[in-house]
Structure 1
Amino acid sequence: MEHGLPASEHTNRLTPPTIVYALGTVLLGVYLLVFWPSLLSMESIWRHSETYMHGYLIAPISLWLLYRDRAQLSQIKPQPTVLPAILALPLLLVWLLAYSININFVSQFAAIIYLQLMLWSFFGHQFFKRYWFPIGFLIFLVPFGEAANPFLQQLTADLVVSMLHLINMPVYRDGLYLYTASAVFEVAVACSGLNFLLSSLVLSCLFSYLHYQKLYKSLLFIVFVIVLSIIANGIRAFLLVVIGESTQMAYGFGADHYYYGWLVFFIVMFCSFWLGAKFADNTDTAVAADVSSRPNNISLTTLALLLPLVLGVALRYSLPLTIMPDTPAALFTPADAQPANSNWGIRFNDGLSRDHWQDAQGIEYFVATYANRQDKGDLITWHNTLFATDRWTIRRLQQTGALFSSYGSLELVNVSGQTQRIDYWYQIGSVKTTNRVLVKLLQLANLWLQQDEPAILFAVATSASETVVSAQQLVEAQTRLAAVVAAQSKQRAD
């Protein structure tokens, strides 16, 4: 026995590795049991979206960063600490609330940050201080950034038009459509450059960690790469327009469209890394072996991490869930209704009910109702859209009214110059709004207060720009909506 060290403290410090590994395995297993739905939803996005395919590489890269430092890693003894476990408690609550109403973006971030805090708590401050980047790098497991697509599309269109003016190529812009002498080009979502931007962000962060020790150098390099990738995406789109225009669309928009894009990305990253390496720091550092005599608190820390997770499992399985019908019900058919015949492409899948009709004046109505929590589908989700994004772009967006009583108006235009106007709102109870966050918060309140009011989308569409939905027509539309709500409530009561 070591001299000057109490027996109890000595035993606490020398917790056998098998016990440490066993406790860590139990914690990881319970973590997966709680957060598995969020982790599975992330993997599904990686699998179905080219923008987020890099997600498959994040965890292996983090493990490789630990492996390459294995000599120093073996010198660090686990020193569990309770503080990060306490910080993780609010995240578990945030995750549970977000998961209960299918806010995947929030629930996925909460799940990954909880894992990071759990690793910090279990292995201790020294481990986290040394390996903060491999742990922090896991945040790129979360698919994020889609909200930036509209801004990036507008920015790309601005860059392309400016570059075409520099070479004196005539171009007319209408929203995201660019009209040249022989063709019409659309700056679609795929042209926003978000995939380039996210890939550049991931690679620049990794490069900075491997080559810089000074924080200002890392930040400058990351900002430089991000700005360069945005400009490069504008150049890529500009070159595709020039190639398409010069070859009468023979080249630039087939399979070679992707080849040009990735070639530009490769050149940008190669030049960035070559330039960044010129300013690299010496990143070789040593770490002293842990000789601390303080107890590692492994039992207390494990308990602080495990109990909330067990509670999280119990709460997750206790959440109410509405089973969706195979086909949404049709609840409301007005006397003057005619079959809807339009090409605006509104799409709201699943749900409790869905009605779509048009009146004698050619004005179309669409109503879809959703439960607060469903076994499949949701009102606010990426694949539910007010119009077909592959056929229309937004020319003008207007919000009318206050937060709790408002509707939105979209003016759309397609490649042929046709226009479409859509007036829409979401409704829960007496609240009518276009704010999707407010809709989610109201659904959350209804869920936890066990109120069974459905969430509803209502849309009115006219097929010509000169046709304007009047205030009276909107009032009439809302009256019809009230009938739909009443029918829905009666059906649920029966």
Structure 2
Amino acid sequence: MNAQMPQKIVDDAPVAIDQQKVKMVTLLTLATVAVILIAYHETTWSMVSIWNRSETFAHGFLIFPFSAYLIWVRRKHLGKLSSQPNFLALLALGGLGFCWLLATLSSVQVFAQFFLIAMIPATVWAIWGNRMVRALAFPLTYLLLAVPFGDGLILPLIDFTADFTVTALQWTGIPVYREGNFFSIPSGNWSVVEACSGLRYLIASFTLGTLYAYLTYRSLSRRAGFIAMSVIVPIIANGVRAYLIVMTGHLSDMQMAVGIDHLIYGWIFFGFVMLLLFWIGSFWREDDEEFDSSSTGVAAGLQPEAEFNSDKAPLKSTVSAAGAVLAVAFIWPVYASYLEREYSGATDPASGIEVPRRRGEWEPGASLVSDWKPEYTGATAQLLQNYRNGKGSVDLHINYYRNQQQGAELISSQNVLVAETGSRWHSIKQEARSVSLGPRQETINENQLHSSSAKLLVWRWYWLGDESTASPYVAKFILARNKLLRRKDDGAEILIVAHYEEAPDEAVPVLQSFAGDMTTAITDVLRNAGER
């Protein structure tokens, strides 16, 4: 008995050493990720603050715990994997850091958040290697749902919900008069606004549906099918919800479902739909299949145990990989801070900008076309001037920005043509139009605005140095490029507005004449303002 004891200790020693190494590499990885999140603290905090203030994205607090749980339940299988640092992952990390820099310079917060979270899988890849990142593919990818994204889906969802509701009402035999996302039925007026878009339902359904599919199914086809249903079902369900709410208000003579109660009804209906979806999905569940090293484990990236023990990377190389990760990751916030300090020290232009008093046939007018004004936050300088000629009248709005930063930038969700609430104006339609801006043919944005007493046609486009564009995404890219190359970040949105009675095309000749005559003078004034 005493003779066997030393042999047992010798046999168990390698296992104990391997387990100790796994714990050390795990702690090193967690520490590296934590340091990166701290280094990018502004982006990290921007996510946390959105989780805290927005009910739509409050699920962000649960994503990291969910991902940690998914990793924890597979710890026995993952514990068989040795760390095999892959320094090629540093290239991916560097690319993500550079993309984060561009997003930060152009103040596209959601992209900066995506690229930061994507650095976590790249860090695991660099420290642990290919086999571990394959085994953790889903939990690491699931972290991207912590990013509060989806605002770009609001307008399409609003349009779909309005189309669905109006069509369903017409099929029911109720007459409907519609202008954009505002419509009237005999019992009252309704509008489909951001809260009615169904974005909250869609995000909640996709977040839970993706997790449910991973835990319940093993085959890729069933997972993909259920995830697709978790996207399609809430969109359609939100249309049904909106229709039922309007019908409830209509049948109750606008006594029910017209206040906060219609939101309560909506969440109850959505909860029922989700329970029904998960219940139906449970009939095809595959979660009774066990993981094993010969089948499921290999498919998930795990290798036979003999292979694990044959190729162990020394701890020194793992520590070196973690140090290289931090070195690559730290470059970008340091350089971003340097550039932001440089721009914050730049001089501001004069508080006002002036367009020449007379250009061709156009003369300044004494009164505006309407009382409508766009809402822009933090503009360095603004101009509002009416111009007239023998054929018509045009209002010129210019919102000029310099030394742009979060909360005071040209492209921002806070800069809107019409506020969602509290305005008598409604945005009816937006589309692109090709027009002549002086000597050039350009694409601009065209908006129709209606109030109870007037109709306006608005043409608008962005000016950034010597470049013009109607796309906010292109404008953001130009801004990021200019900052990266240490050029000026001056930019402006130019809006020209004309009145019409019946059809928008009535205002097109007036706007086209003004744009052709005045665009060159306007851009010269903006260019001179940028040189002050």
Unaligned runs of 5+ in 1: 3-8
Contact 1:13 1:295 in 2 (8 A): no
Residue in 1 aligned with 2:380? 352
Residue in 2 aligned with 1:5? none
Contact 1:322 1:375 in 2 (8 A): no
Change (3 A) 1:357 1:46: farther
Change (3 A) 1:251 1:45: same
Residues 438-457 of structure 1 show CA distances to partners (whole Å, capped at 9, x for unaligned) of 22222233223332261111
2:290 to 284, 293, 301: 284
After superposing the two structures, state which structure 1 stretch, 54-63 or 364-373, moved more.
Answer: 364-373
Residue in 2 aligned with 1:301? 321
1:314 to 322, 334, 348: 334
2:398 is paired with a residue whose SS is strand
Contact 2:101 2:333 in 1 (8 A): no
Deviation of residue 159 (structure 1)? 1.5
Change (3 A) 1:443 1:25: same
Residue in 2 aligned with 1:6? none
Q: State the alpha-carbon separation in 2 of the partners of residues 340 and 49 from structure 1.
A: 39
Change (3 A) 1:467 1:329: same
1:470 is paired with a residue whose SS is helix
Contact 2:213 2:227 in 1 (8 A): yes
1:394 to 413, 428, 447: 428
1:458 is paired with a residue whose SS is strand
2:196 to 182, 188, 191: 191
**Is 2:153 aligned against 1:122?**
no
After superposing the two structures, state which structure 1 stretch, 211-220 or 85-94, moved more.
Answer: 85-94
Q: State the alpha-carbon separation in 2 of the partners of residues 198 and 149 from structure 1.
A: 12
2:408 to 355, 377, 381: 377
Cα root mean square deviation, aligned: 3.3
Unaligned runs of 5+ in 2: 1-6, 8-13, 294-303, 358-363
Residue in 1 aligned with 2:275? 270
Residue in 1 aligned with 2:450? 413
Q: Normalising by the residue count of structure 2, what TM-score does the alignment of the two structures yield?
A: 0.81
Residue in 1 aligned with 2:141? 136
Instruction: For 1:21-420, list aligned pairs within 5 A.
Output: 23-24=28-29, 27-281=32-286, 282-286=288-292, 290-296=308-314, 297-319=317-339, 320-322=342-344, 329-332=351-354, 336=364, 342-359=370-387, 363-371=394-402, 373-374=404-405, 376-390=407-421, 391-401=425-435, 405-414=442-451, 416=452, 418-420=454-456
Q: State the alpha-carbon separation in 1 of the partners of residues 63 and 228 from structure 2.
A: 21
2:516 to 471, 475, 479: 475
Change (3 A) 1:365 1:315: same
Residues 462-486 of structure 1 show CA distances to partners (whole Å, capped at 9, x for unaligned) of 3444544332222344255235315
Q: State the alpha-carbon separation in 2 of the partners of residues 419 and 330 from structure 1.
A: 29
Change (3 A) 1:97 1:74: same
Deviation of residue 458 (structure 1)? 0.8
Q: State the alpha-carbon separation in 2 of the partners of residues 48 and 346 from structure 1.
A: 26
Q: Normalising by the residue count of structure 1, what TM-score does the alignment of the two structures yield?
A: 0.87
Deviation of residue 39 (structure 1)? 2.0
How many corresponding residue pairs? 484
Q: State the alpha-carbon separation in 1 of the partners of residues 271 and 19 from structure 2.
A: 50
- Name which one, 1 or 2, has greater alpha-carbon Rg: 2
Q: State the alpha-carbon separation in 2 of the partners of residues 216 and 385 from structure 1.
A: 42
Change (3 A) 1:246 1:463: farther
Contact 1:211 1:283 in 2 (8 A): no
2:482 to 438, 446, 456: 446
Q: State the alpha-carbon separation in 2 of the partners of residues 483 and 56 from structure 1.
A: 49
Q: State the alpha-carbon separation in 1 of the partners of residues 31 and 383 from structure 2.
A: 49
Change (3 A) 1:396 1:470: same
Q: State the alpha-carbon separation in 2 of the partners of residues 52 and 301 from structure 1.
A: 34
